[in-house]
Amino acid sequence: MPLTRVFLRRGKPAAYRQAILDGLYEAMRETYNVPENDYFMVVTEHDGVDFRGSPNYLGVARSDDLVIVQLTVSNTRSFAQKKALYRRVVEKLAANPGLRPEDVFINLVETLPENWSMGHGVAQYAKDQAA
């Protein structure tokens, strides 16, 4: 159950933002064993003065079209799955809405499965619901 947060500069059209969310969801489905209809996603737009990313950290030439993606996920995936996810996200977002691979910054935040409640005050992924 990824919780997806997307941060970008203000001013992109709705179709652009929707393409980012669609591409992220498709990439997670294809590489990360995310079930159908398992999407909880937020886009946050920022004025330029409130949105900064290094234009060259680690030799990556980023532009003002930088998109920061933060995925909060259960810590149940392998390193190989993570690498496949990163690659597929970049492929998807390069295809639509046309992001440069250098402008896709991804951060995974891993948490224990019992740290999620999808409603009703129940920890649906916890192994022992009685505790």
Tens digits of pLDDT across the chain (131 residues): 799 999 999 999 999 999 999 999 999 999 999 999 999 999 999 999 999 999 999 999 999 999 999 999 999 999 999 999 999 999 999 999 999 999 999 999 999 988 888 899 988 888 775 54
Indicate if 2 belongs to the active site: yes
Query: What angle separates helix 14-31 from helix 79-95, to the nearest 10 degrees?
Result: 150
Question: Residue 22 belongs to what domain range?
Answer: 3-112
CATH number at residue 55: 3.30.429.10
Residue in the structure block whose two tokens are 């496949």: 84
Decide: pTM greater than 0.75: yes
Q: What distance in Å separates the CA atoms of residue 66 and residue 53, rounded to the nearest whole number?
A: 7
Residue 126's pLDDT is 85
Residue 125, in any domain of the structure: no
Residue 130, in any domain of the structure: no
Residue 23, in any domain of the structure: yes
Q: Tokens at residue 80, please?
A: 């190989």
Pair 46, 28: CB distance under 8 Å: no
Residue 63, in any domain of the structure: yes
Residue in the structure block whose two tokens are 């440069």: 100
Choose, from 2, 35, 55, 101, the residue flagged as catalytic: 2
Residue 34, in any domain of the structure: yes
How many independent structural domains does the chain possess? 1
